[in-house]
Structure 1
């Protein structure tokens, strides 16, 4: 594997697992101490809140495993079961996230940004699961790339938000990141899926 590709793969693993673990900080320190900005959701709509913050990190932690070729080839049964858990985690987290988006106090831009993310995340992952069940594996992999781009939005959000807060303040930065965390990811995924492939010499 070329060095640049290896570096990207390692970064993908580290960032996915690190953000997934950090996202469970509420379980150790409590919501009030670790996620104060989300406390009103936890108090007003606990089922949606805990479904989102509890299962989104599961999906993120499983993400690198779904793209691990060695696991997929040597342990296809385990790959399928992890895929089911990934899909279930997104179902629960996505529905919870949609409720939180519709009831956010951060303004309409954030509501639309996170709301569309939840809907597209659910739809794209459902399509990937459907194709896997139909054994249309090549198509399944394409839709999983789209799902991964959206799941990885949890990472890009945490990388971008501190910069946006410094530039614009929290209120405006949070509204901007509700779109910037996932739209570029999805555009990059589409570019990777549709870019011209070099011709192979006969």
Structure 2
């Protein structure tokens, strides 16, 4: 009998999944090291216009970093099956991280973001609302023991969580920077960073459902 471990990959689909998660981890890790961690130095030159709102910014970034880091472990079937209690605790931490990140993002939206333009504040608030709703639905589903529904909402939740990485990547593309000033391109870019991936996710989730 072949012994099952948390590392076993038995089908071609498993290899594709592994490649996908390696890409996500490398892509997300690059964002964390390059764009997120420098803010924890509490350097006024780095924080710039966010210096006045540094604690909200740190709360927002911390919540996002925790959620991004926890996500791959929550989707790792072998790890989840072998360490179910750890999986549940990580799920609670994931939800708390998103709650902190959402509260912080809401404060930033109607303070520092509003000073830039109301469309930027509204876009940031829209992402925060999508973030907390998808995570809350995942939690409600598992509390009602609707496991498949919980898995589907966790996928949606992580797609929205990853929007922070997607947004930063999009804003650094030359073709996006040529679209105009930040006020002109920023709000649209942040909507695109989660709304389109979430639409694609919906197609993926519901494709084979009867």
Give the TM-score band, short-chain normalised. 0.7 to 0.9
Q: d(CA) in 2 for partners of 1:82 and 1:116?
A: 26
5+ residue gaps, structure 1, are none
Match of 1:188 among 177, 194, 200: 200
Q: Is the 8 A contact 1:16 1:64 kept in 2?
A: no
Q: d(CA) in 2 for partners of 1:129 and 1:21?
A: 29
Match of 1:25 among 32, 35, 38: 38
Q: Residue 35 of structure 1: SS of its match in structure 2?
A: helix
Query: Where does residue 19 of structure 2 map in the other structure?
Result: 7
Match of 1:116 among 111, 126, 135: 126
Deviation at 1:116, TM superposition (A): 1.1
- Which residues in structure 2 correspond to 1:19-58 (within 5 Å)? 19-22=31-34, 23-28=36-41, 30-42=42-54, 46=55, 48-58=56-66
Q: d(CA) in 2 for partners of 1:178 and 1:37?
A: 19
Query: Where does residue 90 of structure 1 map in the other structure?
Result: 98
CA-to-aligned-CA distance 1:144-182 (integer Å, 9 cap, x gap): 111011001011011101122244233323222221221
RMSD: 2.0
Deviation at 1:25, TM superposition (A): 1.6
Q: d(CA) in 2 for partners of 1:41 and 1:165?
A: 26
Q: Is the 8 A contact 1:62 1:82 kept in 2?
A: yes
- Which residues in structure 2 correspond to 1:39-188 (within 5 Å)? 39-42=51-54, 46=55, 48-103=56-111, 104=113, 105-163=115-173, 164-188=176-200
TM-score normalized by the length of structure 2: 0.82
CA-to-aligned-CA distance 1:75-111 (integer Å, 9 cap, x gap): 1111111111100000000111012112212212211
5+ residue gaps, structure 2, are 1-11
Deviation at 1:6, TM superposition (A): 3.4
